[in-house]
Amino acid sequence: QVQLVESGGGSVQAGGSLRLTCAASPYIGNDLCMGWFRQAPGTEREGVAHIGSSGSRRYAESVGGRFTLSIDNRKNTLYLQMNNLKPEDSAMYYCAGAKCGAWSRALSQFDDYNYWGQGTQVTVSS
């Protein structure tokens, strides 16, 4: 069982930055794929950024060049650095995990994941 706890959300103006944090317990093993999804009111949850157990990364087109994933295995923490934020980035952001085996590519589909955090709200004003 993997538990995920997000933090770092908040309110910023367009063009600003935020860094989301996802703390995993008991640890981020070499068989764990992770990712970030977001969901705005009235919309489906969409994938934002994902990292495979191989270290490969995949980003949604809408955030490419602005969002960056990083992982600190010593701290069992996944980060999402979000720069040049836009109002359309406003949503609840969820950290997700999946036991995917070693050397897996990044997984980008909602159904690929079975561990979820409680979410952290990001609001970007124009």
At residue 47, the pLDDT reads 97
33 contact partners, CB below 8 Å, separation of at least 6: 50, 51, 52, 53, 97, 98, 99, 100, 104, 106, 107, 112, 113
How far apart, in whole angstroms, are the C-alpha atoms of residue 36 and residue 21? 10
At residue 69, the pLDDT reads 97
22-30 contact pairs (CB < 8 A, 24+): 22/77, 22/78, 22/79, 22/80, 22/95, 22/117, 23/75, 23/76, 23/77, 24/76, 24/77, 24/78, 24/97, 25/76, 26/2, 26/76, 27/76, 28/71, 28/73, 28/76, 28/77, 28/78, 30/102
3-state secondary structure of 19: strand
**Could you count the other beta carbons within 10 Å of the beta carbon of residue 104?**
20
Q: What is the pLDDT along the chain (126 residues), one digit of tens a residue?
A: 899 999 999 999 999 999 999 999 988 888 999 999 999 999 999 999 999 999 999 999 999 899 999 999 888 999 999 999 999 999 999 999 999 999 999 999 999 999 999 999 999 999
3-state secondary structure of 86: coil
At residue 38, the pLDDT reads 98
